[in-house]
Amino acid sequence: MTEVVALISVAVSIVALLISFSTMQSQNKAQNHQRVCALTDRLYAADEFIIQNPGVQKLLYEQAARTAPYFVKDTPHDDDYFRVKSFIYFNINLFDEIFCTIAGDRTLETVFEFDAWKEYIVSKMRHPLFRELYDRESSIWGEKFRAFCKDRWGQICQPPDREMY
């Protein structure tokens, strides 16, 4: 009789472990989905910003071939100056958030198509104004994103595709 009770206890424990493991996997998938949705929402917010502020896109387009710093005291500090600076910070922060959230998590890297995002980030960072702000204040962003930029700096310093802005 004691053996039967022990076997039942073991069986119940195994079933409980399987249920716990299954629940944990479901929760991880749900959390990953929420993380990806939050990043996608932030990307859409950047798109909305550009739609609502076409002058920012125009300024980025016009400044794509710039070689001298833009964010200096002699630059007219009009509304477009602050809008473009805010937009660039928003994007670089998004790129940093993508790395903080996804880099090193193989499941998220697959779900979020991380390699494609890396290429997108490099292409955006090629813009001289993005590079300028990143280079000027790189210490405020996370280690994973800074390491990525350091590894890809040669690509980032290539001329940008003006049609991307």
The distance from CA 162 to its chain's CA centroid, rounded to whole angstroms, is: 22
C-alpha separations of 106 from 21, 25, 97, 145, 160 in Å: 19, 14, 16, 17, 30
Reported as a pLDDT band with limits 50, 70 and 90, residue 92 is very high
pTM of the model: 0.81
Q: Tens digits of per-residue pLDDT, 107-162?
A: 888 878 899 999 999 999 999 999 999 999 999 999 999 999 999 999 999 999 88
Computed from CA positions of residues 75, 81, 86, 92, in that sequence, does the dihedral angle turn out positive or negative? negative
Residue 10 has pLDDT above 90, yes or no: no
pLDDT in tens, 45-82: 999 999 999 999 999 999 999 999 999 999 999 999 99
Q: Distance between CA atoms of 123 and 120, rounded to whole angstroms?
A: 5
Tokens of 139: 């210490």
